[in-house]
Structure 1
Amino acid sequence: MQQLQQDEQLNNHLIKNGVNTKMVFGHPVGLFVLFFTEMWERFSYYGMRALLTLFLISELANGGWAWSRESAMELYAWYTGLVYLTPLIGGFIADRLTGYRKAVIIGAVLMTLGHASMALEGTGSSFFYLGLLLIILGNGLFKPNISSIVGQLYPDNSAKKDSAYTIFYMGINAGAFLGMLLCGYIGEKIGWHYGFGLAGIFMFFGMLQFYYAQRIFGLLGNRQKDTPEADQIAETGGAGEQPAEKVSKRVVRDRLIVIVVLCLSSIFFWMAFEQAGGSMSIFAKDYTQRVLGGNAALTFKWVDAILTIFPLLIVTLVLFSLAKKIFAEYPISIFFTALSFAVIWCLGIWKVQREFNAVETEVAASWFQILNSFFIITLATPFSRMWERVFNPNGPVKFAIGLVLLGIGFAALAYGSRDIPQGAATAQVSMVWLVLAYFFHTSGELCVSPVGLSYMSKLSPKSFAGFIFGLWFGCTAVANWLAGMSGSLIDRISEAYSLSTFFMIFAVIPGLAGLILVLFSPLLKRMMHGIH
């Protein structure tokens, strides 16, 4: 009975806003249009991120710029920090000027141009830096506003909202997986500019897919007039017997405090997590045994082939399910998405065949980053079902669990690197420790990132939801900057202490933050005033 009421509530919400009411896997078709749009944007971003540090520190003979690790990590810090800072401005622009949908399209165009500029890195550094700037600006308009549209598809108290963001997050990581897998592989094995250029092609496909399917969203995503907050409080049952204006202000204030606490907690998470593109990439390149032979090489080839084909099958199934519902109304949108999938399948099969025909098997350093996205793709649905049916604690507790799991992942890396001599520049550590680290990091991520996006949507006042999402990504910006700057200390800490000590720092800090969050979770739950 409760499920039927929730479905009816969702259907009424869609009709009220002129949104297409067709469903895929129990969710509006609009969610999956956003799924694929975000998927290709993340393909481009993470495909380039997988290459950035490796490109900068690689030798001139290998086409890199031969930067020091410290300098490369400092550029990584500023780039990733600004990528997540500009959404704070982009959310405000969408709230007050353009609306969310126009902001998404403009952002996608800017990022496409940015990747195209980076593909010209061989002609001079100016194009490289211009590309970084365009990606930073485009991401600021794109990132917070597509997340805002996801939230608008559902009523504020819909039980489906958490699972919707988890599905959306699966799209994020499907794109990240394919981007790191293919852009990383092509960049390292064929040429850096080919990897950078490939990222831009699929950003362009994602923009076209979204542009031609906009009517699906009805009124959602357009510029909205200010909405009285009392209306939102009435929807979620926070009025009680006190004057509505007074209660509304108190409820809004308390919820904003919870938003700030969750945003600050996320800094501790992402500061450690984002070592993936920096110090963990350095660990993969210089300290991990990546040249395989005999049975180990054959096993890796089969594992790599499965990891390439399996996610492609999953997202192709999602596309097929969406196409059945909307192809008659939106054929051009489906055409561009199908075309992009055809290209991806060709590249994936080419990569698998090339690896099986190779005489020597050397695992690309960027390959390990795909593990995060692979685990997201395989674990997203079980986590979504767990939140809906089995175990669904409040947001702060989920955040705490995520922080502790992240710390466990770094503890595994610290243990795996325990025998590396103090100050050593290279080593041959087993790949197992990176695999374990990414597994625990991913499990923690599923407790933080999609849940955080959902709570930003649930708790934020409607009239500036874009700004709240910008604040969320603004805290991620601070965390990314801290990640890069702290990662740049890898040589200093390993020389003064050990590489194991370096990774243990990132095990302890998130773990302590998680324990503190658990202590304050009962208070934070009360301050959410009915939002669960």
Structure 2
Amino acid sequence: MQTSIQTKDDFFSSKVLGHPAGLFVLFFTEMWERFSYYGMRALLVLFLTSTIAAGGWEWSKADALSLYGTYTMGVYLTPVIGGLIADRLLGYRWAVILGALIMTIGHASMAIETPTFLYIGLGCLMLGNGLFKPNMTSIVSKIYKDHPEKKDGAYSIFYMGVNAGAFLGIMICGYIGEKISWSWGFGLAGIFMFLGMLQFYFTKNIFGSIGLLPKEEKKLQALQNADSTEIKEEKLPSNIVRDRLIVVFIFSIFTVFFWAAFEQAGGSMTIFAKENTTRILTGSAGLTFKIVDALLTIVPLGIISYVLIKLFSQTISKYKLGNLILATSFIIIWGIVLWKVEREFSANTTEIAASWFNILNSLFIICFAPVFSKWWESKYNLPGPLKFGLGLVLLGIGFGFLAYGSTAITSPDIKVSMAWLVFAYLFHTLGELCISPVGLSYVSKLVPAKWIGFMFGVYYLFLAMGNKLAGVSGSMIEEITHKYSLTTFFLIFTIIPMVAGLLIAALHPIIKKLMHGVK
């Protein structure tokens, strides 16, 4: 496979699992960034609401969830600026590197555990993510710009890397933060963010001319006569460009509904896990959980390590240092994982960390992303609006399990089975696979190439709205539960996404016309 920018390029001459090896360099870089983000995210609300005796700050749920919503909003708001900076000034590569460095500083600040450094840390994480996030997806878009039929599959594989990082971050940072030290949990997130930055820096040449400083990339394109695709796009009639941008806007609006509900995972659903779910197990139940937890930890890490070995076989000869850093990261991870498993098996009772349930989303992504990737590349592939509609309906069904499970909670002392959370996360994950990677893919296919970075930023602006709404609505959990019931609270997130899903599915004929042939 070749690009129109550079026909003889390591990125396209070496393949891993049917895709260019460079996609998996992005896979692992994004994995470590998501490790740091989700590792910290799993701890933030728990840390803020825990008692002083438990090392927390004993904030109210409303205040903690409000800050959580503001932070997650900022994480998706700053990419608007980050995309512009990369497009006009830094280029995608240096934007990613600088963003990763700023995020490392943010995690280190949070590990100090003072109010001042908490806000400094959250600010750095917002700014750094703004430079990092849109430009990683922009690199993927550039790579596959001449192969749009493979974009859905490529973004699904890339999204598997996102969730592999989330899985490891929640599992390790969450466990250490809750059971050892909040500071160590926050600090580990920063360590692996730094290692991810180094790995990307020392392997960046695998991308050929993609993502260089804007002036350098344009010069190479001119010299190699590689701008034919972009010229064709520039000559598209203005009405087609306008209609396709309208479609991006429609998809963006419906992502607000999705993320406003989905992001309850780091807020109200974590509180539900902490306060309303049976988490202390003894006897055979405790042993069974330990075995299952060990398998859930080791098997996915083994699969990710297999992908790592496949990448090594293609890139080790030319990118030794980058591969060495990546290998060192995994050696550390394996050491922590084996220590965690041994520690749990030596304990007399089993207390499941409240943050543990968050790994289910990432685990299900790792399991189902390849299946969905094959589905989107098959003859049974669904149109974009139907994918969005299905995703929103599945999300609503997930909250339906929580609403039903909550009917048994008639007093604060009653705890319900963890099965309700497991089913909720399963259906949320299936819904996410229909929307999140697909949304990124459609933005890249519908938007003119010269606007890619900026429009990814705009798309993330809508995600920011959804995340803030998640914090605002989640902060009402105590008020709604006290006035009505916990079931009522979760029913809100059951009904609204399902109605939105049916609505966008009904809009499919109109959206199809506006896409002008893009599939």
- 1:299 equivalent to 2:288? Answer yes
Report the secondary structure of 2:378's partner residue: helix
- Separation (CA, whole Å) in 1 of partners of 2:357 and 2:422: 7
Which residue in the other structure is 1:11 paired with? 2
- 1:345 equivalent to 2:334? Answer yes
Which residue in the other structure is 1:213 paired with? 203
- Residue number among 161, 175, 195 corresponding to 1:171 in the alignment: 161
Q: Give the aligned CA root-mean-square deviation in angstroms.
A: 1.7
- Residue number among 414, 423, 433 corresponding to 2:420 in the alignment: 433
- 1:504 equivalent to 2:491? Answer yes
- Residue number among 110, 115, 131 corresponding to 1:118 in the alignment: 110
- 1:194 equivalent to 2:181? Answer no
Residue deviations 1:496-526, cap 9 Å, x none?
1100010010011110111110111111112
- Separation (CA, whole Å) in 1 of partners of 2:379 and 2:278: 40
- Residue number among 143, 150, 169 corresponding to 1:153 in the alignment: 143
Which residue in the other structure is 1:531 paired with? 518
Q: What code does the residue aligned with 1:419 have?
A: A
TM-aligned CA deviation for residue 427 of structure 1? 3.0
- Separation (CA, whole Å) in 1 of partners of 2:230 and 2:307: 36
Q: What code does the residue aligned with 1:192 have?
A: W
Q: What code does the residue aligned with 1:99 have?
A: G
Q: What code does the residue aligned with 1:120 have?
A: I
- 1:460 equivalent to 2:447? Answer yes
Identity of aligned residues (%): 57
Q: What code does the residue aligned with 1:466 have?
A: G
Q: What code does the residue aligned with 2:117 have?
A: F
Kept after mapping to 1: 8 A contact 2:245/2:446? yes
- Separation (CA, whole Å) in 1 of partners of 2:232 and 2:52: 61
Which residue in the other structure is 1:377 paired with? 366
Which residue in the other structure is 1:251 paired with? 240
Which residue in the other structure is 2:170 paired with? 180
- Separation (CA, whole Å) in 2 of partners of 1:406 and 1:279: 15
Kept after mapping to 1: 8 A contact 2:398/2:426? yes
- 1:398 equivalent to 2:390? Answer no
- Separation (CA, whole Å) in 1 of partners of 2:315 and 2:159: 22
Which residue in the other structure is 1:270 paired with? 259
CA distance change for structure 1 residues 33 and 369 in 2, over 3 Å: closer, same or farther?
Answer: same
Report the secondary structure of 1:418's partner residue: helix
TM alignment of 1:444-483, pairs within 5 A: 444-483=431-470
- Separation (CA, whole Å) in 2 of partners of 1:115 and 1:426: 36
Structure 2: stretches of 5+ with no match in the other structure: none
- Separation (CA, whole Å) in 2 of partners of 1:161 and 1:489: 39
- Separation (CA, whole Å) in 2 of partners of 1:393 and 1:156: 22
- Separation (CA, whole Å) in 1 of partners of 2:162 and 2:413: 33
Residue deviations 1:281-338, cap 9 Å, x none?
0000000010111111111001100111011111101110000001000000100000
Kept after mapping to 2: 8 A contact 1:13/1:155? no
- Separation (CA, whole Å) in 2 of partners of 1:18 and 1:252: 31
Q: What code does the residue aligned with 2:30 have?
A: E
CA distance change for structure 1 residues 61 and 291 in 2, over 3 Å: closer, same or farther?
Answer: same
- 1:63 equivalent to 2:55? Answer yes
- Separation (CA, whole Å) in 2 of partners of 1:235 and 1:354: 60
- Separation (CA, whole Å) in 2 of partners of 1:528 and 1:426: 53
- Separation (CA, whole Å) in 2 of partners of 1:54 and 1:327: 41
Residue deviations 1:471-491, cap 9 Å, x none?
111111110000001000000
CA distance change for structure 1 residues 14 and 322 in 2, over 3 Å: closer, same or farther?
Answer: farther
- Separation (CA, whole Å) in 2 of partners of 1:282 and 1:166: 30
TM-aligned CA deviation for residue 396 of structure 1? 1.3
Which residue in the other structure is 1:4 paired with? none
TM-aligned CA deviation for residue 419 of structure 1? 2.0
TM-aligned CA deviation for residue 64 of structure 1? 0.2
Residue deviations 1:242-271, cap 9 Å, x none?
xx95x5211111110010101111000000
Structure 1: stretches of 5+ with no match in the other structure: 1-9, 237-243
TM-aligned CA deviation for residue 393 of structure 1? 1.1
- Separation (CA, whole Å) in 2 of partners of 1:155 and 1:475: 24
TM-score computed with the length of structure 1 as normaliser: 0.93
Kept after mapping to 2: 8 A contact 1:110/1:138? yes
- 1:105 equivalent to 2:97? Answer yes
CA distance change for structure 1 residues 143 and 262 in 2, over 3 Å: closer, same or farther?
Answer: same
Report the secondary structure of 2:53's partner residue: helix
Paired residues in the alignment total: 510
TM-aligned CA deviation for residue 12 of structure 1? 4.6
TM-aligned CA deviation for residue 135 of structure 1? 0.6
Report the secondary structure of 1:393's partner residue: coil
